[in-house]
Amino acid sequence: MLLFSTGLLLLAGCYKQPGAGQDPPKDVLLFAREQLEATRKRDFAEVERNLSSQLLKSQNVRAGLESAAAIFPAEEPKSVSLLAFVQNKKNSSTDLAFEYRYATNWLLARASILKTNNSMVAVGLFVNPCYVPVEDMLSMNWSRHGPLHYLFVAVAITDPVFILAALVLCVRTQIPKRKWLWLLFISVGWVQLTLNWHTGEWRVNPLSFQLLGSGYFAPMLYSPIIWPLYITVSFPLGAIIFLWRRHIMTGGSDLTQKRDVIGLSP
């Protein structure tokens, strides 16, 4: 959850990882670290002095800073590392993402810095709790997951195959009228289940439907580095009802017709 958003930057730059010559300007990196550290130590007056004037006018900054500071554990971090950054040369802005490592958990922090002439201001500060290392969040890491994850993957693979098979059968079946309605009904899965691959959390949306019954998406939750993977599956209700009622709709086809429907010689 985004706890403190002080003006989200829409950056047009390129994602970069530190190292191998891919490093942000040292002054920008230092400035970003200072603003996050001041937030962590609750030195809100210092942070407010370095925020953009437009930002100060548009939001209740102090409340946002207090919310962000509350996410930091009371203990000192074991390490703070720069994970990635994005530079936008058009407006001289830089978006930097950091990982704070603690004894039992992790924290993601991001600072969006705007540099004009010889001065810098923060136009965005974001803090998110994290319960696994970022490296694990960015990988499938099969060994860490249990039966629920494997079940979702299996259903996500078999759902489209089952629905596509039912669609082909529907196309090749003689239906007296409104075949297109059956094709539409079959093509979607109903009652959507969504699994967050990294956390194992799942939710159900009984009013949703999904083309071919399954899919995945990775929203940009924490630019520029985190795109958590969500796997979605749905119940192939239309395909099941069609297969159950098919012999009724065709009026009881003979064996030759049935063989022809599935592509076999009579």
Does residue 79 carry a pLDDT above 80?
yes
The answer to which of 78-92, 102-116, 153-167, 239-253 has the lowest mean pLDDT is 239-253
pLDDT of residue 255: 41
Between CA 35 and CA 55 the distance in angstroms is 15
pLDDT in tens, 190-227: 888 888 776 677 888 888 778 888 887 665 545 445 55
Quick check: 54 and 124 in contact, CB under 8 A?
Answer: no
pLDDT of residue 187: 92
Backbone φ, ψ for residue 78 (5° rounding): -70, -30
Q: How confident is the model at residue 8 (pLDDT cuts 50, 70, 90)?
A: very low
pLDDT of residue 138: 58
pLDDT in tens, 20-67: 457 788 899 999 999 999 999 999 999 999 988 877 776 688 888 898
Nearest 5°: the CA angle 44, 49, 52 is 110
pLDDT of residue 32: 93
Is CATH 3.30.980 the classification given to domain 14-131?
A: no
Q: How confident is the model at residue 145 (pLDDT cuts 50, 70, 90)?
A: low
Between CA 259 and CA 112 the distance in angstroms is 64
To the nearest whole number, what is the mean pLDDT of the chain?
77
The residue with tokens 């102090």 is 62
Residues of the chain with CATH 3.10.450: 14-131
Which position has the higher pLDDT, 52 or 76? 76
Task: Collapse the DSSP code of 229 into the 3-class scheme (helix H, G, I; strand E, B; otherwise coil) and give the result.
Answer: coil
Rounded to two decimals, what is the model's pTM? 0.55
Does residue 250 carry a pLDDT above 70?
no
How many CB atoms neighbour CB 139 within 10 A? 13
Residue 130 DSSP class: E
pLDDT of residue 100: 92
pLDDT of residue 162: 92
- Residue 239 burial by Cβ neighbours in a 10 Å radius (0-12, 13-18, 19+): buried
Between CA 1 and CA 73 the distance in angstroms is 16
pLDDT of residue 61: 84
Percent of the chain exceeding pLDDT 70 equals 73
Mean pLDDT for the stretch of residues 123-132: 81
- Mean pLDDT is highest, among 16-25, 138-147, 241-250, 257-266, for 241-250
What residues are paired with 88 via a beta bridge? 93
How many CB atoms neighbour CB 76 within 10 A? 9
Does residue 4 carry a pLDDT above 60?
no
